[in-house]
Amino acid sequence: MPLTPLGKIVRLQIQRTALKFGEKPNRVYDPAGLLSVAELTLTPQGAVARLPESGTLLDIHNATHPQTRNNDGTNTLSVGFTAHYAAMRAEFGDHLFDGCAGENILIETTGRVTMEMLTEGLVIQSGDQRVRLKIFCHAPPCRPFSGYVMHGTEATVKESLQFLDGGMRGFYGTLDRVSPLTIAVGDAVLLPQT
């Protein structure tokens, strides 16, 4: 299958804790639980970060995490795109830093990425190895994240939810192999073509 360059990885991260707090309907979003790392090990169960002191830390969406937020395997891994963040900042303000939506892999792109573009998934080239991510669906926006996004603007929750829908907030997927692979910031991301 032919591959087209899409971009390079500019940020890798895990969610150490939940990012939504409080009781409905007053839940709030706080990205403080994110941990940016230089390398991330992808497994069929989810993302694992190696810590400098030689330990590991599971992403909260990893199926083996004690308080997993994994939804039956549909949100095992997540990817986002810098062009989407540029669009969000243009709409809602500079408080939206790259990665604040909590995706595991942030890819530098020049244009919007749609679900239609991801029907064959994504391929990450890490050294001499390649790994394919199957993409299941776009990450649906939630009210707490929408509130975080529109902070300080006159946008309504409905307007921010609509803007963030359709993949603007990223996409969910899983590893398309059994063996783990460690990827790094700077690795190339390719788009399979049918």
Domains, the chain, ranges and CATH? 3-189 (2.40.33.20)
Confidence check: pLDDT of 24 > 90: no
- What are 106-158's pLDDT values in tens digits? 999 999 999 999 999 999 999 999 999 999 999 999 999 999 999 878 888 89
Q: Amino acid identity of 141? A: P
Q: Is 59 exposed, middle or buried (0-12, 13-18, 19+ CB in 10 A)?
A: buried
For 87, the 3-state DSSP assignment is helix
The tokens of 34 are what? 């994110």
Q: What is the pLDDT of residue 69?
A: 93
